[in-house]
Amino acid sequence: MLASTCLAGALAATAASAACTSGGVIKCPVVLSGQVPASMKLADFDTAATNKIFNAGNVKASNVPWSQILKFPNVTTNSRFDNASMKSVEVTIADSSIFKTQHGFRRAGLQMLGDTNTGGPGAVGVRTVHWSVQQDPARKLNLTHEYQNLWHETADYSANQFDFKMGTLLDRSSDRNAMKITNRKGEVVWSTPIEAAAWQNFAVTVDYQKNTLQVFYSKGLAPLKQVTAALPNDNSGEGQYQIGMLKKPTGTDDVVNSGYQESGIDEGQIYGGIFIEDSAGGCISL
């Protein structure tokens, strides 16, 4: 399993084996995990009894089961922090991806089990949120729209402490072809081009005590590097992480409820290596 996962990669065999055996090691205590076991089946995501990593009910259209929203993608290598016991998962959206009465959005978002809106382990102390993404050539995003792909939203749903976005931001000018990390004010603190066919690995350290945000990044299987300083940010308000796809409409001031979405949507984002570690004392897995 490990050999085939690694050697199927586009890299030369020797480079591939080296990269695979020196893949990312998680060195700090994991407080929440969204790493998908290799043995997990799509149907397992549908019920709480078999889905031990994510909320089986939310956040998605109530009449569409996760087994129809999620896919196991054809990636040639696991992402940096996913070893041979784990696999990648793709979150997709379609015309039916309407959560409750939010007719403006097309959305499907995973929430890690144990990530409660208040009093949970994800929004205290110093936490580093890890994730990797890769694009699916058969399910490309339409970058005329704004996408929110991963974020931490306050418990009263009034703000996001930070966001991971793609496409055309509605509230400011930006490079639509870039992945962007935004702060609570919606300002872009760091961005990097969307790669057509490579893992892009992110870590954001959210210091809930000192109120700072710091971004780490790498491409492919390379170790993460610090790409911003610890920037001031209002991290108050607790809340939860969400991981997936939220496509905003165009042509409206009321993005939640109205606006334009084309029909025939079939878009996705491939995720791997989702976990939150305790970065107390400066610990971080690179």
**Is 144 an interacting residue with respect to ligand NAG (CB under 6 A)?**
yes
Q: Which is nearer to ligand NAG, 59 or 70 (CB)?
A: 70
**Is 83 an interacting residue with respect to ligand NAG (CB under 6 A)?**
yes
Q: Which is nearer to ligand NAG, 77 or 240 (CB)?
A: 77
**Is 84 an interacting residue with respect to ligand NAG (CB under 6 A)?**
yes
Residue 61 has which token pair?
């259209």
Taken in order 228, 234, 238, 241, is the CA torsion positive or negative? negative
Tally the residues of the chain. 286
| Least distance (Å) between residue 250 CB and ligand NAG | 5
Q: Which is nearer to ligand NAG, 156 or 262 (CB)?
A: 262
Q: Which of residues 6-35 bind ligand NAG (CB under 6 A)?
A: 26
Q: Which is nearer to ligand NAG, 50 or 144 (CB)?
A: 144
**Is 250 an interacting residue with respect to ligand NAG (CB under 6 A)?**
yes
Q: Which of residues 47-76 bind ligand NAG (CB under 6 A)?
A: 71, 73-74
**Is 266 an interacting residue with respect to ligand NAG (CB under 6 A)?**
no
Q: Which is nearer to ligand NAG, 83 or 214 (CB)?
A: 83
Q: Which of residues 186-245 bind ligand NAG (CB under 6 A)?
A: none
Q: Which stretch binds ligand NAG (CB under 6 A): 9-17, 82-90, 111-119, 276-284?
A: 82-90
| Least distance (Å) between residue 145 CB and ligand NAG | 6
Single out the residue of 234, 254, 262, 266 in contact with ligand NAG (rule: CB under 6 A). 262
What is the three-state SS of the chain?
A: CHHHHHHCCCCCHHHHHHHHHCCCCCCCCEEEECCEECCCCHHHHHCCCCCCCECCCCCCCCCCCHHHHEECCCCCCCCCCCCCCEECEEEEEECCCCCCCCCCCEEEEECECCCCCCCCHHHCCEEEEEEEEECCCCCCCCCCCEEEEEEEECCCCCCEEEEEEEECCCCCCCCCCEEEEECCCCCEEEEEECCCCCCEEEEEEEECCCCEEEEEEEECCCCCEECCCCEECCCCCCCEEEEEEEECCECCCCCCCCCECCCCCEEEEEEEEEEEEECHHHCCCC
Single out the residue of 138, 197, 229, 280 in contact with ligand NAG (rule: CB under 6 A). 138
Q: Which stretch binds ligand NAG (CB under 6 A): 44-52, 81-89, 126-134, 217-225?
A: 81-89
CB atoms within 10 A of CB 171: 11
Residues at the interface with ligand NAG (CB under 6 A): 26, 71, 73-74, 83-85, 90, 138, 142, 144-145, 250, 260, 262
